[in-house]
Amino acid sequence: MPQADINLWAVLAAAVLHMVIGAFWYSPVVFGKTWMALTGKTMEDAKNANQTKNYIISLVSAVVLAYVLAHFVQYLNAATFVSGLQVGLWIGIGFVATTGLAHYLWEGRPHKLYLLNTVYSILSLALMGGILAIW
| Single-letter amino acid, residue 132 | L
Q: Are 134 and 84 in contact (CB under 8 A)?
A: yes
Torsion of CA 112, 94, 13, 116, to 10 degrees: 0
1: in domain: no
Q: Are 120 and 100 in contact (CB under 8 A)?
A: no
4: in domain: no
105: in domain: yes
Domain that holds residue 116: 18-134
2: in domain: no
Q: Kindly report, residue by residue over 34-81, the tens digit of the pLDDT.
A: 999 999 988 888 778 888 999 999 999 999 999 999 999 999 999 999
53: in domain: yes
30: in domain: yes
50: in domain: yes
Report the number of distinct structural domains present in the chain: 1
How far apart CA 128 and CA 8 sit, in angstroms, is 13
Q: Kindly report, residue by residue over 72-123, the tens digit of the pLDDT.
A: 999 999 999 999 999 999 999 999 999 999 999 999 999 999 999 999 999 9
111: in domain: yes
